[in-house]
Chain A
Amino acid sequence: MSANIATTLPLGPLDPERTELLLRVVESLEPSTLQWLSGFAAGVAHERAGGRPGVSLPAGPVVAPAARTEPTARLTIVYGSQTGNSKRIADRLGRAAEALGLAARVYAAGSYPVRDLARERMLVLVVSTQGDGDPPDDARGFIEFLQSRRAPQLAQLSFSVLALGDSSYPKFCETGRQVDERLAALGARRLVDRVDCDVDYDTLANAWLDRVVTGARDALGGNAQSATVTRLRTAPTEPQFSREQPFAAEVIANHPLTGRGATREVRHLEINLAGSGLTYAPGDALGVWHANPPAVVSEVLQALHLDGEQSVVLDDTAKPLREWLTTGRELTRLTRPFLTQQAERSKDTRLAGVLQPGHEAELRHALKDLQLVDVLQRHPAEWDATSFVKALRPLAPRLYSIASSQEAVGEEAHLAVALVDYELDRKRRLGAASAFLASLQGDQAKARIFIEPNERFRLPADTTRDVIMIGPGTGVAPFRGFVQHRGAQGATGRNWLFFGARHFQSEFLYQAEWQDAVKRGVLSRCDLAFSRDRSIAREYVQDRLRRVGKDLYSWLENGAYLYVCGDAERMAPDVNAALMDIVAEHGGKSRDDADAYVRRLADDRRYLRDVY
C-alpha cells in the first residue's frame, strides 16, 4: 500500500523531506483514519484563515469543530459513550441540526475543551451510565470538571440531557441525572427536560432529538447561521446494513473454546460477512439480535397461565404472544420498572420491600441473579397478555467484541461468547443471547447482525508503538483481533498480553494461537493468571500485573498503549488499582502523582478500556 501511495501521490507543494514525513505517517493509517485526517487538515486550514486559534482535535471522524460562527450562536453536542450508543445519537443529532441549517459541533466528552463551557449558549449532552452508576471512562474528566468548584456559572446556557442506561442496574441513568442537576445548579436553563432511556433507547431518543433540534432552532433563531459546517468526510455512506437493518449472516463455525473440566463454556463463532459490505476494525463490536430460547418463552407462558398463540396488538402490530416474547421483548433480564409493576400486581410485600430505600443491596442482588421467570414464579401475579408485553422492554441487541482482524480472516468476524448457563434452585437458567448463539448450528444457521464501531478502542496508528493488552476471560476477544492485525501489519512495536481464567487446562482461551504467536514473535510476552488451579499460585491478572510491575512501567515509559477489556465490576477497578500501585512504586511517585500519571495516560488515549 505504501508503495502505491508513493508512486501516485503528487509531490504538490511539499518538499521531499516533508513528503517522506507525510508518507511515513500516512502509511500505517486505516482508511477511516485517513478520511478523518483530511477533514482535520481542512479544519486547521479554516482556523488559520481567520478562525479561533487553538484547534482541538475531535475524537474521531465527526463533524468539524471548525465552523466559523459566533461562539454563542451554535449548538454544541457532547457525548459520553462507552459502547457507542451515545455517540451514535450525538452524531444523528449533529446531522439533524445540520439539516435544519444550524451550526453544530460534536465532541466526545474527553475531547471537549472545558474552558469553552463559559461561552456556550446551547449545550446538549448525551451520556450513558456504566455499571453501578459510573460515567463512561471517557467522560470522567468532563464530569469531574463540571462537579468541581472550577465549573463556571452558566446563566447564559440552555441545555438538555439525554441519559442512557440499563434499568437492570439499580442506579439507572445516574450519570445523566447528575449532569442534569449540576447544570441546573450552575444556573443553566433546561431547553428540553432530561429523558432517561433504557437499553431500547431508540423511540425515546428520537422524540427527544426532534424536540431538541426544534427547540435549538427556535432559540438560536435568526442568529443561527446557515450551514457552514465543514464536513470531515464525504457524505457518510450509511452502510446498507445497520442496527436497525441487520444483516442475516451465516454462522460458519460454532464450537467450544473451553475443554473438559471448565467451570463455564465459552464458544467460538465465525460469522460470514460476505455479501453484506460490512467491514470492521479491531476493537469494534458485533451487534447480534437474538431470539429468546423457546424453553424460556414456554416457561414464562406457563408461569403466567397465558396462551402463546393469542394475538397481541401493540404499536399497530399484531403478533402472537409467543412471537412477541421470542423476538420482540427482553425475557431474561429483570428491570426495576417491571419489578415495581409485579410487586403491585402480586401484592407481595416481600417483593415490594426490596424496592424500598435502604434495600439497594438486595435489589442489586435480585436484578443480577434472578431472571424474569424467577420473579413470575416466586411472586405470582395476574397479567393479561397485552399489559405484560407492554411492561417488558423491547428486545435490545447484544454487543460482542469482535475477536478477529479482517487482515487475517477476510470477510468473517469471530466471536468468543461466554455461555450464561447456571442453576438457580435446581432450575436451569440460560442467558438469552448466548444460548441463542450457541444454538446456531448447521448449514442454515443465521444471525441478524450489525457492526458497532468502537473508536475508543483502537490500536495505535503508529505501528512502532508497544501494546499491552489485559483481557481475562472473554475480555481477551478483541486482543485476538489486535494480535492478528499487528501480525498482518508487520508492526514493529512489541505486544504483551495478560490473560486470566480459572483453569489452565480447560479455560486458556485460544491457547494454541497464543503459543503460535509467541513462536512467530508476534506476541513478545504473555503473562497468565489462573485462579483455581491447585498446583500453581492462584492469581488474578491484577496480581500478575503487580509481579511484573517493573517491566510494565518501563513499557509505559517507553510509550506503550495499555488496553483493558472485560468485567467492569471487579476486574477493571482492580486492574486500575494495580496500575496506580505500579506507577507509584516503580516510578517513585506519590499517590497523587501516580493518579495524575494514569489519568494522563487516559487523556492521551494510551489507557483504553472496553469494559462491560
Chain B
Amino acid sequence: MTEQSPVERIKRDSRNLRGALVESLQDPLTGAIREDDTVLIKFHGSYQQDDRDIRDERRRQKLEPAYSFMIRTRLPGGVCTPAQWLQLDEIARRHANGTLRITTRQAFQFHGVIKTELKTTMQAINASLLDTLAACGDVNRNVMASANPVETRAHPVVHGWAKQLSEHLLPRTRAYHEIWLDGEKVSSTEDEVEPLYGPTYLPRKFKAAIVVPPVNDVDVFAHDLGFIAIVEHGELQGFNLTVGGGMGATHNDAETHPRVADVAGFLRPEQLLAVAEAVLTTQRDFGNRAVRKRARLKYTIEDRGLEWFVAEITRRMGFALEPARPFRFETTGDRFGWIEGFDGRWHLTLRIDAGRVADTARGPWLTGLREIAKVHRGDFRLTPNQNLTIANVDANARAFIDGLVVRYGLDRHARATPVALNALACVALPTCALAMAEAERYLPRLTQLVDERLAANGLAGAPLVLRITGCPNGCARPYLAEVALVGKAPGRYNLFYGGDGKGQRLNALHLENVDEPTIVAALDTAFARYARERTAGERFGDFAWRAGLVGAQAT
C-alpha cells in the first residue's frame, strides 16, 4: 500500500475530529491553533487564516501573523429566515469583520473572527438554529439547490430533498457539540462510530448540488455528486444522476484538471438518499488517500472508468439506475428583479457583488438588508451566483420592499451591466491562505475594464460570464466561464476563454501568466474579432472555440 498523505494520519488520530482543539483554543500565547488542528477545524466549518496584507509588517514587529478564523455556515439550498438573518447580521458586527459574505455555494461566511471569540461565535450561530458542521473538510459540504425553487410545485419539493440530503450525509461525531456547544463529553470515543464515513472520513472534500432546469445556477456539472430534476407538468418525476465533476487543479501539474461531471442515469426521488450514499461510500473506499490533489471523485472515476463506477454503486444500492432522461439548460445566471412564483407570491433577486454584504461606499447594504429583514415575512435565498433573493413577498408588500431597496442602494441590479451582474469572484487576498493573486478586491476594476473593451468594440450590453479566482482551486468555478482569470502571482493571471454560459463545457487556456495590460489587450483583440465575425446569437464562449482563440489551433 502506498504511503498515505499526512492529512490521513491527522484524521485517523483525531478521535472523530476532536484532536487537540480544546487545548489549542485555550493556548493564550497565540491567536493560532496547532497545525494538526488547522486540518480538523475545517470539519467544524472554520478555516484558520491571517491578514496577508500585514503579514510582513507583523513579522517585522516581531508579532505573529494576525490570525483570525473564517466560519462558514451549513445552509442547504441557501435558505434562511429573516430572524436568522438578523442574528447573523449581529454576529457579523459583533464577532466578525462587519461583513456577511454569500459564498458561491449558497452559504454565509464570517471573516476575521479571532480565536478567543470563536466559541462564542459558534454558539451564536447555533442559537440562530443554523450550524457549521461539515461546512468545510473532507466530508459532504453544503448541499446546493437551484435558488428560485418556487416557480413550480416541484421547486419546493426539490428544495426539501436538498435539506434531507444534507442531513443524511452529516458526520455523526459528538465532537462538534462537545467543543463548541459545551455538550456532554462522550465517555469513550472508541464507542462512537461514524456509520457513513468511518474514522478517516473521505479522502477529500465532496460537493453535491441539485438543479432544476432550465437554469443551471448551481453549475451542476462542477460537483462530485449532482441531481438534475426532471419535472413534467410541474411535478417532479425524478433526477438524472451526475458524478465526477470538479473545478480544482494545480498550476503546471498535468495530473490535475477541472472536469465536467458525467450523467450516469435516472433515479426516482425516493431513491435519492440511497444513490447518494452509494456514491459517497464508493469514493470513501476507492478514493486516492495517498495524493491529496488527486483525491477527488473525478479522478477515481477517471482512473477506474465510469462503467466500473456505475457497476460499483449499483452493487451498493441493490438496484440499477434507469437510462438518463433528456434535459436542457439555458443559462447559469440569476434572473434579477421581481419574479412571480407559482403560488402568486413574489421574489426579488438583488445583485450582491462578490457576495459581500457590507456597508461600503457602494451603499449601506448590511444596514439595508437588516432593515428589510426586520419587516420581511417571507425568507431569504442565497444564490449560487452570490446574489440574494428576498423571497415569498406578498404582492402588496412589494412597493415597501422596493422603497427600502432603493433607499439603501441595493438596486444595483437595475443599473449594472450584464458582465457586472453575472461575474463571480472568490475571496482570495487578504485572508485566503491559498490565494496567489487578488480576486474579490480586483473584481470591480476587472468588470469595468471588460465593459470598456466591450463598449469600445460596439458590444456594450453583450452577455458574458466572467469569473475570477485567486488560485487554481476554483471556488468561483472559473473553468466554466466564458472569460476567466485564474491567479498565478500578484497581478498575474492565466486567461481562459470558452465556457458555454450554461455550465456544460469547460473553457481552455488562452494566455498563461499575464498581467493586466496584456489581458486588456488580448480582450480587445478578441472582442474586435467577435464583433466582426460572430454569427447571430453566438455567445463569446462559443465564438472563442470556433475562431480558434482556444482549442487545437490555438496551441
A residues in contact (CB < 8 Å) with B = 255-260, 268, 504-506, 508-515, 518, 526-528, 533-536
Given contacts A514-B29, A515-B30, A526-B29, contact A508 B114 (CB under 8 A): no
Residue of B nearest to A518 (CB): B29
Within the assembled complex, what's the spacing in Å between the Cα atoms of A558 and B219? 68
B396 at the interface (CB under 8 A from A): no
Known: A528-B28, A535-B114, A535-B116. 19 other contacts (CB 8 A): A255-B61, A256-B61, A257-B61, A257-B63, A259-B54, A259-B57, A259-B63, A260-B54, A504-B28, A505-B66, A511-B63, A512-B59, A512-B64, A513-B62, A526-B29, A528-B29, A533-B116, A534-B117, A535-B120
Q: B246 at the A/B interface (Cβ < 8 Å)?
A: no
Q: Min CB distance, B383 to chain A, in Å?
A: 33
Smallest CB separation, A497 vs chain B (Å) = 10
Chain B interface helix/strand/loop/mixed = loop
Residues in B whose Cβ lies below 8 Å from that of A515: 29-30, 64
Q: Roughly how many angstroms separate A511 CA and B27 CA in the complex, as a whole number?
A: 13
Q: Of all chain B residues, which has the CB nearest A527?
A: B28
25 A-B pairs (CB sep. < 8 Å): A255-B60, A255-B61, A259-B58, A259-B66, A260-B54, A268-B62, A504-B28, A504-B116, A505-B114, A511-B29, A511-B62, A511-B63, A512-B59, A512-B62, A512-B63, A515-B30, A515-B64, A526-B29, A527-B28, A528-B28, A533-B116, A535-B114, A535-B116, A535-B120, A536-B28
In the complex, what residues of B have CB within 8 A of residue A528's CB? 28-29
Q: State in angstroms the CA–CA spacing of A257 and B60 once bound together.
A: 8
Chain B residues whose CB sits within 8 angstroms of the CB of A258 once the complex forms: 61
User: Judging by beta carbons under 8 Å apart, are A508 and B63 in contact?
Assistant: yes
Which residue, A506, A515, A535, has most C-beta atoms of chain B within 10 A?
A: A535
In the complex, what's the smallest C-beta–C-beta distance from B60 to chain A, in angstroms? 5
Q: Which chain B positions have C-beta within 8 A of A259?
A: 54, 57-58, 61, 63, 66
Q: Write the chain B residue with the least CB distance to A533.
A: B116
* Contact B64 A511, beta carbon cutoff 8 Å: yes
B58 proximity list for chain A (CB < 8 A): 259
The interface residues of chain A lying within 8 Å CB-to-CB of B62 are 257, 268, 509-513
Answer yes or no: B203 CB below 8 A from chain A CBs: no
- Closest residue on chain B to residue A511 by CB atoms: B63
Q: With a CB–CB cut-off of 8 A, which chain B residues contact A533?
A: 116
Q: How far is the CA of A315 from the CA of B384 in the complex (A)?
A: 82
Q: Contact partner of A535 among B54, B66, B117, CB < 8 A? A: B117
In the complex, per-residue mask of B109-142: 1 if CB is within 8 Å of any chain A CB, else 0: 0000010110010000000000000000000000
- Which partner residue on chain A sits nearest B113 by CB separation? A535
Shortest Cβ distance from B322 into chain A, in angstroms? Answer: 55
Cα–Cα, bound, A514→B117 (Å)? 23
Q: Determine the distance from Cα of A148 to Cα of B54 in the docked complex, in whole angstroms.
A: 60
Tell me the bound Cα distance from A65 to B28 in angstroms. 50
- Considering the complex, give the chain B residue whose CB is closest to the CB of A534: B117
Cα separation A104 to B117 with both chains bound (whole Å): 64
Residues of A contacting B114 with CB < 8 Å? 505, 535
Chain B positions within 8 Å of A, measured between CB atoms, are 28-31, 54, 57-64, 66, 114, 116-117, 120
- A510 nearest in chain B by CB position: B62
* Residues in B neighbouring A535, C-beta threshold 8 A: 114, 116-117, 120
- Contact at B31–A505, with CB atoms within 8 Å? yes
Residues of A within 8 A of B31 (CB): 504-505
Q: B423 to nearest A CB, angstroms?
A: 31
Docked Cα-Cα span, A515 to B28, in Å, equals 11
CA distance A127 to B29 in the complex (A): 41
Q: How many whole Å from A81's CB to the nearest CB in chain B?
A: 32
Complex Cα gap A257–B62 (Å): 6
Residues of B within 8 A of A256 (CB): 61
Q: Which residues of A contact B30 (CB under 8 A)?
A: 515
Interface centre among A255, A511, A518, A533 (most CB of B within 10 A): A511
A510 to chain B, nearest CB (A): 5
- Tell me the bound Cα distance from A513 to B59 in angstroms: 11
The docked-state distance in angstroms from the alpha carbon of A528 to that of B120 is: 21
What's the Cα separation between A505 and B117 when bound, in Å?
A: 13
Q: Report chain A residues within 8 Å CB of B54.
A: 259-260
Q: From residue B122, how far is it (CB to closest CB) to chain A in Å?
A: 13
The interface residues of chain B lying within 8 Å CB-to-CB of A505 are 31, 66, 114
Q: Which residue of B lies closest to A508 (CB)?
A: B63
A506→B59 CA distance, assembly (Å): 12
Closest CB in chain B relative to A14 CB, distance in Å = 47
Task: State the CA gap A508–B61 with chains docked (Å).
Answer: 10
A268: B residues at CB distance < 8 A: 62
B50 to chain A, nearest CB (A): 11
A249 CB, nearest partner CB in chain B, Å: 21
Query: What CA separation (Å) do A268 and B58 show in the bound complex?
Result: 13
Report Cα–Cα, A512/B57, bound state, in Å.
13
State in angstroms the CA–CA spacing of A257 and B29 once bound together: 16
Assembled-state Cα–Cα distance A534/B31 (Å): 14
Q: Complex: how many Å from CA A534 to CA B121?
A: 13
Least CB distance from B38 to A in Å reads 16
CB-CB nearest in chain B for A262: B61
Give the shortest distance, in Å, between B231 (CB) and chain A (any CB).
49
Minimal Cβ-Cβ distance residue in A for B95 = A535
Contacts of B61 in A (CB 8 A): 255-259
> B120 — which chain A residues lie within 8 A by C-beta?
535
Query: Min CB distance, B314 to chain A, in Å?
Result: 53
Q: Which residues of B contact A260 (CB under 8 A)?
A: 54
The CA-CA distance from A268 to B59 in the complex, in Å, is 13
Give Cα A512 to B64, complex, Å. Answer: 5
Q: Which residues of A contact B60 (CB under 8 A)?
A: 255
Please measure, in the bound complex, the distance between the C-alpha atom of A526 and the C-alpha atom of B541, giving whole angstroms: 60
B458 to chain A, nearest CB (A): 47
Whether A536 touches B116, Cβ cut-off 8 Å, given contacts A515-B29, A526-B29, A528-B29, is yes
- Report the minimal beta-carbon distance from B504 to chain A, rounded to whole angstroms: 47
Cα-based distance from A514 to B28 in the complex (angstroms) = 12
Chain B residue numbers with a CB within 8 Å of A511 are 29, 62-64
Closest A residue by C-beta to B94: A534
Task: Compute how far the CA of A258 lies from the CA of B60 in the bound complex, rounded to whole angstroms.
Answer: 10
How long is the Cα–Cα vector from A491 to B63 in the complex, in angstroms?
26
Which of A509, A510, A515, A528 has the most C-beta atoms of chain B within 10 angstroms of its own C-beta? A515
B24 to chain A, nearest CB (A): 14
Which 8 A/B pairs are nearest by Cβ-Cβ distance? A535-B116, A535-B117, A512-B62, A511-B63, A536-B116, A528-B28, A510-B62, A259-B63
Q: How far is the CA of A238 from the CA of B66 in the complex (A)?
A: 48
- Alpha-carbon distance A202/B524, docked complex (angstroms): 78
* Distance of A75 Cα from B256 Cα, bound (Å): 89
Give every chain A residue within 8 A of B29 (Cβ-Cβ). Answer: 511, 514-515, 518, 526, 528
Assembled-state Cα–Cα distance A256/B66 (Å): 15
CA distance A518 to B29 in the complex (A): 9
A255 partner residues in chain B, CB cutoff 8 A: 60-61
Q: Least Cβ distance of B442 to chain A in Å?
A: 23
CB distance from B112 to the nearest CB of A (A): 11
Residues in B with CB closer than 8 Å to A526 are: 29
What's the Cα separation between A250 and B71 when bound, in Å?
Answer: 48
Chain B positions within 8 Å of A527 at CB level? 28
Instruction: Name the A residues within 8 Å of B66 (CB-CB).
Output: 259, 505
A515 to B120, CA, bound (A): 26
Give the residue among B30, B59, B60, B62 with the most A Cβ atoms within 10 A: B62
How far in angstroms is the closest Cβ of chain A from B91?
13
Residue of B nearest to A260 (CB): B54
Q: Report the Cα distance A256→B60, complex, angstroms.
A: 8
B57–chain A nearest beta-carbon distance, Å: 8
Query: Which residues in A have their C-beta under 8 angstroms from that of B117?
Result: 534-535
With both beta carbons as reference points, the residue of chain A lying nearest to B60 in the complex is identified as A255
Measured CB to CB, the closest approach of chain B to A503, in angstroms, equals 11
Q: Which residue of B lies closest to A528 (CB)?
A: B28
Return B98 CB to nearest CB of chain A, in Å.
Answer: 15
- Identify the closest chain A residue to B116 (Cβ): A535
Closest Cβ of chain B to A499, distance in Å, is 10
- Which of the listed residues B54, B59, B60, B63 has the most CB atoms from chain A within 10 Å of its own CB? B63
- The smallest beta-carbon distance between B431 and chain A, in angstroms, is 15
Complex Cα spacing A429 to B239, Å: 73
